[in-house]
Every structure is written in structure tokens, then in C-alpha cells.
Amino acid sequence: MITPTDLFGMGPEVPIRLHPNLSKRIYLYNRKQKQLVVQGIHDYLYQFFGSSSINYEVDSTGHELPQSLKNINRTCVRVPKNTTAEELEACFTASPNQEFIQLDGDFNGNLCPNSAILGAEHLRVISNEGHGDEILLGFRGKRFDCDCPFHDATIVQFLNEWKSNRGFHNLESLIINSCKSKKYYDVMLLKDMDVQQLDRPQDTLHITWQTRYSYPIVKAMGSTKLWKVGFSSRDYLIRNGDGVEASVFIEDHDVCFALWKGNSCEVKNING
């Protein structure tokens, strides 16, 4: 039984107390009052510390979707089975413009039209239940990481829209790993793209950037952490109209794309 107390600004009518294991900052509460408790703690922290001092993320790892809270910059959702697009979208109603969103679990790839999720600055999707085509084509942010298969036509459409300057104007990097469920062939996908190559055959461009990941080993250290990721390639595209360059790498189960501008670039000799 949870003894009524006055914690986080909530009166004794909302029973909540610290877990007896003092090595962990875990609080016990009545599950029937979950939304009331979460909202109350959230409001209390912002009132006590001020919005400029609070920077945390919502992390849902159980069998329930997180409730929608204001002033959230990062959200990691383990999507429960049979979740509808509307139910998932409701998690972001109060904070539609987020820095980082990660979706995994039983996520089938279905989102609402013009979803707030597609406007996240950095979107990471882990899905084994469907293709990521609609997510990629609707993405409006800067960095997109996805562990799911894509149809060849979708990759071609994405590259064509970027190269012709008709879309993806905010995009800075894209990493697709189809986890052995799909294999890509650069000869087929890049055959009509007017691909350029570095001048010297012994040179390759190594391009890197900082990105966020949320895995159990990472969560053990706290919230999502920044990690350096990247790839190497001799191939690149030049965007029509403004001449912006972007490296591209397609091999086996991976599709990688990144602008030179805004990322770290280093020319390396492939012979060592």
C-alpha cells in the first residue's frame, strides 16, 4: 500500500512515495492515477526550476504510450502492438516540434498525414513490420535514421527530388539499414543520377556527424547520448540550382546520404 503524502506539489489525495530501494530514484504510485501523477510531476519541475533549466526526454519502454506533455524536446517510444496512427500522434500534441524522436517496438510504419513526428529535427525509426517508404518521403527534418526495408522506387524518388531541388531542403543526413530484409544495388539506384566521383581514384571522402541513439546499454547511462557516425564514399551528387554537394553510399543492406555542408568531411587515401 502507498501511504498518502505531499510530494511534487500534489496533496495526499494523490498517493505517491519514494521506492524503499534508496539506490534508485523510483517512485511508487497508483496506476489508475498515472496521467495525473506524470502531469503533476512535470508541472512541478517546470515551476520549481524554470523552463530554461529543464531539458529531459520522455522515454516509454513498457506496454503503454506516453501521455502528451508540453516543453518536451526528445521522446523515445516503444510502440505497443495494434497502436493506431492517431493514438501515436496524440503523444506529440502538446510538443509537436521536437529535437529527437525514436520509434520502435511494434511500430508498423503508419503515421497520420503531415504528422508532427515527420517534422522532428532527428527521427530514428526501428520497424520490422513494414516498409518505411511513406515516412521517408514525408520527412521534413534534418537527420533520418531507419532500420527497416524500402522499395527501390522510393530511394530513387528521394534522390531525384533532392537532386532536382524539389524536396528535402532541410535534410543533412540519412542512414538506412534494412537488417538483411532488403538488398540494394548502387548500379540500379544511381544509374540515372549523374553521379560524380572524387578526382583521384585513390581518394575517398569520410563524412561524419553527431547523432543520438537510445538502446538499453545507452539508457543505462542516462538519456539518449550523442555518438559520432558516418561513412566513406567516392561518389557524390550535386544539387541543381545551388550546387550543394552530398556524398552517397549504397551497398548490400545500407543506403547512406549526407551533405558536405554542415558535416565533418575528410579526404582519405584508400591505400592507407
pLDDT digit string, tens, across residues 168-206: 999 999 999 988 778 999 999 999 999 999 999 999 999
For residue 60, report the phi and psi dihedrals to the nearest 5 degrees.
-110, 110
pLDDT band at 13 (very low <50, low <70, confident <90, very high): low
50 and 86 fall within a common domain? no
- Spatial contact of 215 and 161, defined as CB atoms under 8 Å apart: no
116 and 179 fall within a common domain? yes
42 and 115 fall within a common domain? no
CB contact set of 192 (below 8 Å; sequence gap of 6+): none
148 and 186 fall within a common domain? yes
Task: Give the residue among 225, 233, 223 at the shortest CA–CA distance from 256.
Answer: 233
Is pLDDT at 166 greater than 60 in this prediction? yes
Q: Taking CA 171 as the corner, what is the angle to CA 165 and CA 174, rounded to the nearest 5 degrees?
A: 115
More reliable by pLDDT, 258 or 17: 258
27 and 135 fall within a common domain? no
pLDDT value of residue 194: 94
pLDDT digit string, tens, across residues 94-110: 999 999 999 998 888 88
Q: What is the pTM of this model?
A: 0.85
pLDDT value of residue 242: 96
* Cα distance between residue 138 and residue 146, in whole Å: 14
Task: Report how far apart the first and last C-alpha atoms of the chain are (Å, whole number).
Answer: 66
88 and 11 fall within a common domain? no
Domain-ending residue, one of 54, 72, 90: 54
More reliable by pLDDT, 162 or 40: 162
Domain-ending residue, one of 39, 54, 69: 54
pLDDT digit string, tens, across residues 19-67: 556 555 566 666 676 777 777 777 877 777 776 666 778 888 778 898 8
Is pLDDT at 12 greater than 70 in this prediction? no
pLDDT value of residue 45: 77
Is pLDDT at 219 greater than 70 in this prediction? no
Is pLDDT at 17 greater than 80 in this prediction? no
CB contact set of 91 (below 8 Å; sequence gap of 6+): 65, 66, 67, 68, 75, 77
208 and 122 fall within a common domain? yes
Count the domains in the chain. 2
Chain centroid to Cα 32, Å, comes to 31
73 and 26 fall within a common domain? no
pLDDT value of residue 4: 44
On average, the pLDDT of the chain sits at 84
Three-state SS across 128-181? CCCCCHHHHHHCCCCEEEEECCCCHHHHHHHHHHHHCCCCCCCCCEEEEECCCC
59 and 184 fall within a common domain? yes
The HSE-up count of residue 178 (CA atoms within 13 Å, CB side) is 22
pLDDT value of residue 184: 93
Domain-ending residue, one of 37, 54, 71: 54
- Spatial contact of 150 and 132, defined as CB atoms under 8 Å apart: yes
Is pLDDT at 233 greater than 60 in this prediction? yes
Beta carbons within 10 angstroms of residue 21's beta carbon: 8
pLDDT value of residue 48: 75
* Cα distance between residue 105 and residue 83, in whole Å: 10
190 and 86 fall within a common domain? yes
151 and 20 fall within a common domain? no
Q: 37: domain range? A: 1-54
pLDDT value of residue 5: 46
171 and 120 fall within a common domain? yes
pLDDT value of residue 230: 95
pLDDT value of residue 26: 62
pLDDT value of residue 50: 73
Q: Which residues pair with 249 in a beta bridge?
A: 256
For residue 162, report the phi and psi dihedrals to the nearest 5 degrees.
-70, -50
More reliable by pLDDT, 246 or 222: 246
pLDDT value of residue 122: 96
